[in-house]
Structure 1
Amino acid sequence: MASGVVLVTGSSGIVGSAVADEMHTAGWEIRGWDVRPGRWTTHRGDLRDAALRARAVAGVEVIVHAAALHAPHVGLVHDGEFRAVNVDATAALLSQAAEGDVRRVVYTSSTSVYGHALVPDSRAVWVEESLRAQPRDIYDETKLGAETLVGQRHRFTTIVLRIARCFPEEPAVQAAHRLYRGVDVRDVARAHRLAIVRPEVSGIFNVAGPMLFRPNDARQLLADAATVLGDRAPGVVALFRQRGWPLPRSIDRVYDSGKAQRELGYRPIYDVTTLVELS
């Protein structure tokens, strides 16, 4: 799929705007839908607005569905609202897509859906797509519910990207997370572009940052992460020390995006070294 019109829901958000920018650079015409204004947002309004949905989808070849209520909304927004926005509106969007010329839907999910499965036992959890999701709150439940809808049989192809942590945080915290459970939003945007231009690929894919560790590190990562880091990434350890940032003593999980690398050609480039050097 060379180029065309792509609808990005959540186009004023962190991920949606980055995806829109990536696709614009790649030569696509951007149509953005969000409740808030933004550079790429051409259609403003609620996801549940049927008339707006029809206008937004008309003439679109690809939909990237990144809009949702997120984890910070848990406890602040009623569970019924979560279901209405994250699940029911997704179902309506898929139905609208089936009525038009949409050829591909990319659903932006989250590694959060693994939920309780992320709790370690005697070793860090190695998070591959085969790990069974065990939702722990309404956010996880509704994102997983939307994944199920997207994964059903449609007249267009679909793919689900479970993205790792990529929102802004304090530099020391973000750097530590980037070691094992974070990803740069620019890599997230690139993964979405790859998902769009490879319409033959379907399924669920983790999208995380560059891999520092190996599966056989899992036991020691939980018990003594600093030693493993010293062996695997001495340059990273040195950069943390130069800035007086603490290295994690224990790492409880590692997000593995190897499947996306194999099937989509995803190669994350913004590693923790890049993040630290730019801070």
Structure 2
Amino acid sequence: MRVLLTGSSGWLGRFLAPALRAAGHTVTGLDAVPGPETHVVGTIASRAVVDRAMRLGIDAVVHAAALHKPDIARYPAQTFVDVNVTGTLNLLEAARAAGHDRFVMTSTTSLMISEAIRREEAPEAVWLDEQTGPLAPRNIYGVTKLAAEGLCRLHAAEQGLACVVLRTSRFFPEDDDTHKRPSGENLKSIEFLHRRLTVEDAAAAHVMALEKAPDVGFGLYLVSAPPPFAQADAAALKQDAAALIRERFSDAEALFAARGWQLPQSLGRVYDPGLAERELGWRARTDFAAVLAALREGAPLPFAHDPAYTSPLAKGR
């Protein structure tokens, strides 16, 4: 298929484009800033830009473009609405007008995190999946991504455009902008227990969603590395996560200590990607066990970490 990939200059886009080509697709990249995978430069908030890209000959859209949480410090709320909501509507309407039979959108697990969940007020870890609700996103990023999901749902129901929405957990390479300790590779390694995946696995999920979309109709899937826990572990994870990790992975603490790292004492939330595995046939290749294997073997860690990373959009400003 000839695929229009939005967000082609971004972190996910630079991995998604080659993954789509490896699956046999031709990729046309659309982004607000130039990049090696971008052929059309312009904002999806402009219907004229979207139509110009569509005229290049497009069979399906993989929509990965968005303003993200770090952009809150750089852009007003209206710009989030313009890009994340109006931009998604422009793409959906253009895809329907072109007679497409599938549409894939990148969303975020961030929109599932209310202020109470973020503060970890519950007495046990909150188990998060596609049935979690009611949702109360805590910032303009989450609010606009939830609205974009709703537009996909409406177009599937009312226009017959098969849409798959992927709520991806963390895969950014830079340091967390709120957590200072643990930080860096220590934090990312811990997050593979409950709320992270590699950018390569995120890209693979999109390729699979594109293939499966016509059979799904409308699908909403949480995309994350599989946690080595069950929902029955929620209380133990909140009270003494380190003990549970030592029970499941006998050398985890020693491997972490050799790097000067710490195991988490408490985990307040866990993302469950089981539905994506059951319905899409997708499962992350990299999990916490793979991180430990790399530590055990003295191999490079199986995820990207770049404290100096700045998005092309931020650089462009």
> What's the TM-score, normalizing by structure 2?
0.83
**More displaced 10-residue stretch of structure 1: 265-274 or 224-233:** 265-274
Q: Is 1:177 aligned to residue 191 of structure 2?
A: yes
What residue number does 1:11 align with? 8
Identical residues among aligned pairs (%): 38
Deviation at 1:39, TM superposition (A): 2.1
Contact 2:226 2:274 (8 Å CA) reproduced: no
- 5+ residue gaps in structure 2? 176-183, 295-299, 302-317
What residue number does 1:220 align with? 236
What residue number does 1:88 align with? 86
What residue number does 1:272 align with? 288
What residue number does 2:170 align with? 165
**Letter in structure 2 aligned against 1:64:** V
Q: Is 1:128 aligned to residue 129 of structure 2?
A: yes
What residue number does 2:314 align with? none
Contact 1:10 1:65 (8 Å CA) reproduced: yes
**More displaced 10-residue stretch of structure 1: 116-125 or 240-249:** 116-125
Distance in structure 2 (CA, Å) of the matches to 1:238 and 1:62: 48
Secondary structure, aligned partner of 1:129: coil
Deviation at 1:254, TM superposition (A): 0.5
Deviation at 1:63, TM superposition (A): 0.7
Q: Is 1:40 aligned to residue 42 of structure 2?
A: no
Distance in structure 2 (CA, Å) of the matches to 1:78 and 1:173: 30
Deviation at 1:273, TM superposition (A): 4.2
Deviation at 1:241, TM superposition (A): 2.3
Deviation at 1:61, TM superposition (A): 1.6
Distance 1:220 1:145, change over 3 A: same
Deviation per residue, 1:129-168 (Å, 9 max, x gap) = 1101211111110000000001112232001100001001
Contact 2:46 2:90 (8 Å CA) reproduced: no
Q: Is 1:195 aligned to residue 197 of structure 2?
A: no
What residue number does 2:223 align with? 207
**Letter in structure 1 aligned against 2:129:** E
Distance 1:164 1:50, change over 3 A: same
**More displaced 10-residue stretch of structure 1: 113-122 or 210-219:** 113-122
> What's the TM-score, normalizing by structure 1?
0.94
Deviation at 1:235, TM superposition (A): 4.2
Which among 99, 103, 109 is matched to residue 105 of structure 1?
Answer: 103
Distance in structure 2 (CA, Å) of the matches to 1:115 and 1:241: 31
Deviation at 1:93, TM superposition (A): 1.3
Deviation at 1:115, TM superposition (A): 2.1
Distance in structure 2 (CA, Å) of the matches to 1:146 and 1:251: 29
Deviation per residue, 1:194-213 (Å, 9 max, x gap) = 10111212321000013211
Distance in structure 1 (CA, Å) of the matches to 2:212 and 2:87: 26
Contact 2:241 2:267 (8 Å CA) reproduced: yes
Deviation at 1:76, TM superposition (A): 2.9
Deviation at 1:79, TM superposition (A): 0.9
Moved over 6 A (4+): none
Distance in structure 2 (CA, Å) of the matches to 1:19 and 1:236: 32
Distance in structure 2 (CA, Å) of the matches to 1:239 and 1:273: 12
Distance in structure 2 (CA, Å) of the matches to 1:104 and 1:57: 14
Distance 1:101 1:239, change over 3 A: farther
Counterparts of residues 233-248 of structure 1 (less than 5 Å): 233-248=249-264
Distance 1:129 1:118, change over 3 A: farther
Distance in structure 2 (CA, Å) of the matches to 1:186 and 1:234: 28
**More displaced 10-residue stretch of structure 1: 34-43 or 107-116:** 34-43
Distance in structure 2 (CA, Å) of the matches to 1:190 and 1:88: 27
What residue number does 1:53 align with? 50
Contact 2:84 2:145 (8 Å CA) reproduced: yes
Secondary structure, aligned partner of 1:234: coil
